[in-house]
Amino acid sequence: MSAATLQRTRRLAVCGGSLLGIFATGPAAAVDEDFRIWENVTTIAKLGAIDPSLEKWRLWLESQGRFRNDGATADQALGRAGVGYALSDKASLWLGYAHIATFPQDAKTQHENRIWQQVLLTDKAAFGDLTSRTRLEQRFIQNVNPVEWRLRQFVRFSHPLWENAPLSLVLWDEVFVRLNSTTPSTRFGFDQNRGFAGLGYSFSEKARVEIGYMNQLIQSRVVSQREQKFDHRINHILSVSMFLNL
């Protein structure tokens, strides 16, 4: 992607996403904003191809690279792996592990180890394809105590732009809620929201690419003896993802 194209994308993202941020945060909130780039590759493999007795078992492999400061600086690297069991063609249960490395400016790399469980539901309706993912996480974050429990609810909709088209409209949203408080200064309650709008292109039934705009609203809540304070960050993200179903 050329520098000029990246700059135009950034301007459009900031203009559109700032409107969402104004309504989401309210006039009294302090808001920091940044343009970022996220890259994702996710593979879901059916283990029945290895052994017929594993027909209902699945493997999840995912890697992400995230870049801040207009996409110029590495922000996070994420690796996620899991094993799933298909209850039916539309429902599966998952258990897995993730490692996240965060690269703060002028500080040492921070590491997080994460255990996760999820219920994944998919369905095809006359108006489009629907996906629901409910994920529970136990986050072992460096220098943070105790273990943070977080609930994530993801809902996705897609619809081909014309009959049997490889190109689809993709919309999704994911809400994050902390289920407990941790030290230092992180309180239970709403954590963040991610909303995405973009296009998906299916090369085949096994390979798909999605590219679009993601708005990430992050809320920080600090409670002292005298007051409760909310700070917000809005990230305008160019999201590029590849999905493989093997």
Task: Give the model confidence (pLDDT) of 52-86 as tens digits.
Answer: 999 999 999 999 999 999 999 999 999 999 999 99
pLDDT tens-digit readout, 166-196: 999 999 999 999 999 888 767 888 999 999 9
Query: What is the b/e burial string over 196-221, where b = at least 16 CB atoms within 10 angstroms of the residue's CB?
Result: bebebebeeeeebebebbbbbbbbeb
Asked whether the predicted pLDDT for residue 8 surpasses 70, the reply is no
pTM of the model: 0.83
Q: How high is the pLDDT of residue 84?
A: 97
Q: Is the peptide bond before 184 cis (omega within 30 degrees of 0)?
A: yes
Any residues with CB less than 8 A from the CB of 200 and at least 6 apart, and which?
A: 158, 167, 168, 169, 170, 208, 209, 210
Q: How high is the pLDDT of residue 16?
A: 45
What the block records as the tokens of 93 is: 């249960």
Specify whether the CB–CB gap between 148 and 182 falls below 8 A. yes
Q: How high is the pLDDT of residue 163?
A: 87
Specify whether the CB–CB gap between 121 and 91 falls below 8 A. yes
